[in-house]
Amino acid sequence: MEHILSLLVFFPAVAGLLGFLVAKESIRAYGISVSVIEFCLSLILWIGFDSANAGYQFVEYYAFIPSYGMSYYLGVDGISLFLVILSTFITMIALIGLSIEKDIKNLIISVLFLEMTMVGVFLILDVIWFYAFWELSLVPMLYIIGGWGGERRMYAAIKFFLYTFAGSVLMLVGILYMGFLYYEATGIWSFALPDWYLLQVPFKAQLWLFGAFFLGFAIKVPMFPFHTWLPYAHGQAPTIGSVILAAVLLKMGSYGFVRFSLPLFPDATVYFLIPVAIICIIMVIYAAMIAYAQEDMKQVIAYSSISHMGIVILGTFAMNAEGITGSIFLMLSHGIVSGALFMLVGVIYDRRHTKMIRDFGGLAQVMPNFATVYGIMLMASVGLPLTVGFVGEFLSLVGFYRISWILTLLAGTGIILGAVYMLVLYKKSFFGQVVHEENRSLKDLNAKELSALIPLVLLVAILGIYPKPLLSTIDMSVQKMLVLMDQKAIEPATKELIMKANSIGGTH
Amino acid sequence: METISIDVASLNLPALLPMAILALGALGLICVDLVVKGLNRSFLTMITILFILLDLGAVIGYNGPSRAFFDVLLVDGIALIAQVIILVASAIFLPLSLSHRHFREFEMAEFYALFMFMIVGFQCMVVSDNLILIFIGLETSSLALYTMIAMHNRAKAFEAAIKYFTMGALAAGFYALSALIFYAMTGSVEIYQIEQALQARNFEPLVGILAGTIFMLGALGFKLSLVPSHTWTPDVYEGSSAPLAGYMSVVPKIAGFVVAMRLFEMLVYSGVVWLEHILYAAVVLTMTLANITALVQEDVKRMLAFSSISHAGFMMAAILIGTTQSNTALFLYWTLFMFTNLGAFTMLWIVRHRKNLWDERYQHPYTKFSGLVKLMPATATIMGIFMFALAGMPPFSVFWGKLYLISAAINSEYIYLAVIIALNSAIAVYYYMKLAVYMFLKEPVMSDATLYATNASTPLKVIVGVSVMITVFAIIFVEPLLNILTKYVSASGF
């Protein structure tokens, strides 16, 4: 159990390497077996996780390049625990539902390497390693989109790569500057995040550093106006690429905000709070409106992702336990729901080789099971109470209500707009008469697709009704982070706002 | 009846995790095989390796109390080293299944499941000082191994399996008898309690202890192929496939050595001169007789079988000496021996041909390798390196183990033993060199080089490459390895 985090990070990579020796006809079984083992490992981590301890657990620390303060530093807390489980779970589900036959061996090995980078990003506490995993995650994704994507896959893959790479290079400058500040203050080099947490950064420097980190994370999330790579990437990526991209890779950006921006730069966070919130509102409303105008089913879901990520970021910047816990929960629920929706689009694309809404219609008669699962996921995406989508959205908005009720109200319209475009999509595709003859002979979900989708449906219902085990674990670590932010704040305005955000009617 | 209440935390279940991972992996593999038809051997091999690596991670990561699960488990330093050696050896022997030609046993998921169960058995043997759990481990691993040998599906393989099974059954009987005798005398099956009880009664009655020791020596001697219970070894190695034979010459023995170390060192330190003499005789006989028999072998595989018996004799010498240095020497020797032996058996696996073209009776007669250097210079050179390394030529791997072992013998004033070990090494050079002479100095009997590479594949070549590197460059990592081994061995009080 001592090295379970190292096992979690590197098991998929080792399995990927050994995968080169596995024969093509068994590679699917191999990929699924490996991802199931990895998922079981992450569950063991959860079982072994002490949910009364808010700090980092299962910590592994080895000095890596001591003269420059780099270390191999792993640890898990309530914030990252469930994101790790989400990564392993979604990878497993995506591999189970995989329907590609072409070059499947290369694809599965890429996915396994991608899994390593995802788990690594969430577990690593050394910032240089974090950056390494963060950048490495681009490479398998570039290959997945470029190798198995649609017609304009090259363009989409390169755009995805350049966009996110440019953002993260600026982040690297920020990382190095932060390391320098730490050296200046203490006289030793360190890139360990827990060390950085203890450093009070001067206000001026905070603003610049916040900006550098913000660009890296905002492009990944993606936030308006850096979102334009996402629809392309989703439009061209194969199903498995879209599923992992939407469910996990986007969360790396929002995780970065929670893990880096807030606790490292509390004053800058408060300083930029309202501008960021306004960007979030724009994301929510603007992306929802574009989603409504789309004719491609996959693009609708891609833009709805942007819209939901707006609420995630808004919740993060609420600066209180409800908002941040809610936004982390929303990351998880959005991972489950958007993953499922992209998989469902993949199901219909495999059968009809089109994603255009106008080519469908009346699918509910031909494919009742498909329509049911789609309907449930759609409701969860809209945020219907008792589904998983509701909990996170509600908490995020409740959290931000303390900061500004007007902005919260505007963000709340996102839910209504979400209902509009989603229900319209559903109506056009599933209800009415079957207008296209080729749709009459479509087959309903097969056993493979059901085995991938049913766990997702179950999770939507279970976590929607009883989210407490997750929420309480996340909340504990978030509370600890908030206390840290309050202690570190330099400006009185920051302390005041944190106090205000965390109190109800004068008590707290 | 008094109710029994047990606190789950006191059981310290994480200590069971390494074994549980492989046992669950084996069961899972059988289930997957039921669902998915036609699984490729590469899939089965890689999944098994992944489970072994996970197990390795769990073993290295364990840092609970050393006693666990009703004090049945004893996770101390030597248990840790032995498990790491067992798992690493298993993980690098297994890819030998990916040879160019297909073999029936390597296509079946059951083989890999049995392989994992066998490792669980070995792990049970080394992480316990409870005679019953050791027995369970011994039987689990042996039963799995018998079946795996028979799965090779050749007439000789069945013969080997039956022979191994019959001898194994006898050894199991011996073991049970010995455990019974010790239990009858001391009322306990835990080695450390047996030791205390025997000391309390001043090692009386001697007849009982003597009988227990003799039976135990017979039982473990079978596993470790000590003279006189070694007769199965050459036939079983010959009947099984080269990977399995190579595996048998390394892994089951390390498990046996750990048990022997726990048990016999307790007896040697009792101060009863008798017991020491018995062990001494077994050690000298094993080294010398096996070496002399190896001289007259005509088949390389049988020669390697006898040579591995003689290497096991060296190891028993380490146990007889019983100091920290000698015990460390045992693990060092065996780690180095493992890679070299792996390389040698992999070479035999590569040159395996479907038909016995060279000799009616044997598969790898010396004449097969005549003039190999002219047909395949690289193959011959690599094989030569392995032979010289096994003979103990400096600077190759096994030399360092031998050096450390002999110095351990001298340091504890076993001068005669040191001389006997040295003399035996000199005898051994002859039969190892014989192969080199055939390869380098004789004229080829075949003109077709491809006959020697019908079973070669990339994974096999990689394994050979790794073994050669480790064999040749052993000098680099002997020192750090020795430090680690000494630390763990002395920490567990041996």
pLDDT for B305-321, tens place per residue?
A: 999 999 999 998 998 88
Tokens of B280: 């001494």
Q: Tell me whether residues B54 and A4 touch, CB distance under 8 A.
A: no
| Predicted confidence (pLDDT) at residue B77 exceeds the cutoff of 70 | yes
Distance to chain B for A37, nearest Cα, Å? 9
For residue B1, the model assigns a pLDDT of: 60
Burial of residue B4 (number of CB atoms within 10 Å: 0-12, 13-18, 19+) = exposed
User: In this predicted model, what pLDDT tens digit does every residue of A141-177 receive, in sequence order?
Assistant: 999 988 888 888 888 888 889 988 888 888 999 999 9
CA pair distance A74, A56, nearest whole angstrom: 9
Q: Tell me whether residues B53 and A29 touch, CB distance under 8 A.
A: no
Distances (CA, A) of A60 to A1, A57, A123, A454, B84: 11, 9, 10, 36, 20
With vertex at residue A367, the alpha carbon angle to CA A364 and CA A368, rounded to the nearest 5 degrees, is 65
| Predicted confidence (pLDDT) at residue B27 exceeds the cutoff of 90 | yes
DSSP class of A26? G
CA pair distance B462, B356, nearest whole angstrom: 26
DSSP class of B107? G
Chain B residues closer than 8 Å to A27 by CB? 43
Q: Which residue from A7, A14, A30 is facing B47, i.e. has the nearest CB?
A: A30
- Residue A107, domain member (yes or no): no
For residue A442, the model assigns a pLDDT of: 84
More confident residue, A136 or B105: A136
Mean pLDDT of chain A: 89
CB pairs under 8 A between A and B: 67
For residue B333, the model assigns a pLDDT of: 92
Nearest Cα to Cα of residue A11 among A83, A115, A98: A115
Q: How large is the average pLDDT for residues B245-266? A: 88
Q: How large is the average pLDDT for residues B318-329? A: 89
Beta strands in B188-308, from DSSP E residues, in sequence order: none
| Predicted confidence (pLDDT) at residue A123 exceeds the cutoff of 90 | yes
For residue B98, the model assigns a pLDDT of: 85
For residue A74, the model assigns a pLDDT of: 92
Question: How many other β-carbons are positioned within 10 Å of the β-carbon of residue A458?
Answer: 10
Chain B residues closer than 8 Å to A7 by CB? 54, 57, 61
Question: How many other β-carbons are positioned within 10 Å of the β-carbon of residue A216?
Answer: 27
CA pair distance A482, B185, nearest whole angstrom: 66
How many structural domains does chain A have? 1
Asked if the C-beta of B3 comes within 8 angstroms of chain A's C-beta atoms, the answer is no
Q: Tell me whether residues B39 and A2 touch, CB distance under 8 A.
A: no
Tokens of A105: 């061996």
% of chain B at pLDDT higher than 90:
27
Amino acid at B470: I
Distance to chain B for A471, nearest Cα, Å? 27
With vertex at residue B135, the alpha carbon angle to CA B129 and CA B138, rounded to the nearest 5 degrees, is 105
**Cis-peptide into A222, omega within 30 deg:** yes
| Predicted confidence (pLDDT) at residue B120 exceeds the cutoff of 90 | yes
Q: Which residue of A has its CA nearest to B91?
A: A18
Q: How large is the average pLDDT for residues B94-108? A: 85
- Residue A343, domain member (yes or no): yes
- Residue A446, domain member (yes or no): yes
Q: Phi, psi (5° rounding) for residue A76?
A: -130, 140
CA pair distance B88, B197, nearest whole angstrom: 37
Asked if the C-beta of B14 comes within 8 angstroms of chain A's C-beta atoms, the answer is yes
Q: Identify whether the C-beta of residue A11 lies closer than 8 Å to the C-beta of residue B50.
A: yes
For residue A328, the model assigns a pLDDT of: 93
CA B114 to chain centre: 17
Best A26, A27, A104, A109 member to test B by mutation, with max B CBs in 10 Å, is A26
Those residues of chain A whose CB sits closer than 8 Å to some CB in chain B are 1-4, 6-7, 11, 14-15, 18-19, 21-23, 25-27, 29-30, 33-34, 37, 41
Tokens of B41: 């051997």
Name the band, by pLDDT with cuts 50, 70 and 90, for residue A506. Answer: very low
CA pair distance A68, B242, nearest whole angstrom: 50
Distances (CA, A) of B16 to A456, B54, B59, B377: 33, 13, 10, 49
Q: Tell me whether residues A2 and B61 touch, CB distance under 8 A.
A: yes
With vertex at residue A97, the alpha carbon angle to CA A91 and CA A100, rounded to the nearest 5 degrees, is 100
CA pair distance B138, B122, nearest whole angstrom: 7
Distance to chain B for A15, nearest Cα, Å? 7
Asked if the C-beta of B462 comes within 8 angstroms of chain A's C-beta atoms, the answer is no
Q: Got the DSSP string for A105-130?
A: HHHHHHHHHHHHHHHHHHHB-BHHHH
Q: Tell me whether residues A18 and B39 touch, CB distance under 8 A.
A: no
For residue A508, the model assigns a pLDDT of: 43
CA pair distance B298, B301, nearest whole angstrom: 9
Distance to chain B for A180, nearest Cα, Å? 35
Q: Identify whether the C-beta of residue B417 lies closer than 8 Å to the C-beta of residue B409.
A: yes
Rg (alpha carbons) of chain A, rounded to whole number: 22
Q: Tell me whether residues B58 and A27 touch, CB distance under 8 A.
A: no
Q: Which residues of A110-140 are buried (b: 16+ CB within 10 A; e: fewer)?
A: bbbbbbbbbbbbbbbbbbbbbbebbbbbbeb
CA pair distance B269, B476, nearest whole angstrom: 35
Tokens of B63: 């840092």
CA B69 to chain centre: 27
Chain A residues closer than 8 Å to B39 by CB? 26, 29
Q: Tell me whether residues A29 and B17 touch, CB distance under 8 A.
A: no
Q: How large is the average pLDDT for residues A213-220? A: 90
Q: CA torsion sign, A391 to A392 to A393 to A397?
A: positive
Name the band, by pLDDT with cuts 50, 70 and 90, for residue B26. Answer: very high
| pTM, full prediction | 0.88
- Residue A141, domain member (yes or no): no
- Residue A288, domain member (yes or no): yes
The domain of A292 spans 273-465
DSSP class of A318? T
Total residues found in chain A within this entry: 508
H/E element holding B218?
Answer: helix B206-224
Amino acid at B318: A
Q: Which residue from A7, A26, A41 is facing B39, i.e. has the nearest CB?
A: A26
Asked if the C-beta of B20 comes within 8 angstroms of chain A's C-beta atoms, the answer is no
Q: Got the DSSP string for B369-422?
A: GTTHHHH-HHHHHHHHHHHHHHHT-TTSHHHHHHHHHHHHHHHTT-HHHHHHHH
Q: Which residue of B has its CA nearest to A58?
A: B61
Name the band, by pLDDT with cuts 50, 70 and 90, for residue A15. Answer: very high
Q: Which residue from A1, A2, A19 is facing B46, i.e. has the nearest CB?
A: A19
Question: How many other β-carbons are positioned within 10 Å of the β-carbon of residue B338?
Answer: 26
% of chain A at pLDDT higher than 90:
35
User: In this predicted model, what pLDDT tens digit does every residue of B48-72 receive, in sequence order?
Assistant: 999 999 999 888 877 767 777 777 8
Q: Tell me whether residues B43 and A18 touch, CB distance under 8 A.
A: no
Q: Tell me whether residues B57 and A6 touch, CB distance under 8 A.
A: yes
For residue A504, the model assigns a pLDDT of: 60
Q: Tell me whether residues A21 and B47 touch, CB distance under 8 A.
A: no
For residue B376, the model assigns a pLDDT of: 85
- Residue A31, domain member (yes or no): no
More confident residue, B388 or A436: B388
- Residue A346, domain member (yes or no): yes
Total residues found in chain B within this entry: 494
Q: Is the ipTM of this complex over 0.90?
A: no
| Predicted confidence (pLDDT) at residue A86 exceeds the cutoff of 90 | yes
User: In this predicted model, what pLDDT tens digit does every residue of B434-471 receive, in sequence order?
Assistant: 888 888 888 888 777 777 778 888 888 888 999 999 99
Q: Phi, psi (5° rounding) for residue B377?
A: -60, -40
Q: How large is the average pLDDT for residues B71-79? A: 85
Q: Tell me whether residues B40 and A18 touch, CB distance under 8 A.
A: no
- B118: helix, coil or strand? helix
Chain A residues closer than 8 Å to B62 by CB? 1-2
Nearest Cα to Cα of residue A285 among A417, A478, A174, A183: A417
CA pair distance B465, A334, nearest whole angstrom: 49
Chain B residues closer than 8 Å to A37 by CB? 50-51, 54
Chain A residues closer than 8 Å to B459 by CB? 21
Distance to chain B for A311, nearest Cα, Å? 39
Q: How large is the average pLDDT for residues A204-209? A: 90
- Residue A350, domain member (yes or no): yes
| Predicted confidence (pLDDT) at residue B88 exceeds the cutoff of 90 | yes
Chain A residues closer than 8 Å to B21 by CB? none
Q: Which residue from A7, A11, A21 is facing B46, i.e. has the nearest CB?
A: A21
Q: Which residue from B14, B58, B98 is facing A21, i.e. has the nearest CB?
A: B98
Q: Which residues of B362-401 are buried (b: 16+ CB within 10 A; e: fewer)?
A: bbbbbebbbbbbebbeebbbbbbbbbbbbbbbeebbbbbb
DSSP class of A20? T
CA pair distance B25, B33, nearest whole angstrom: 12
Interacting residues of B304 by C-beta distance below 8 A, sequence separation 6+: B237, B245, B249, B341, B344, B345, B348
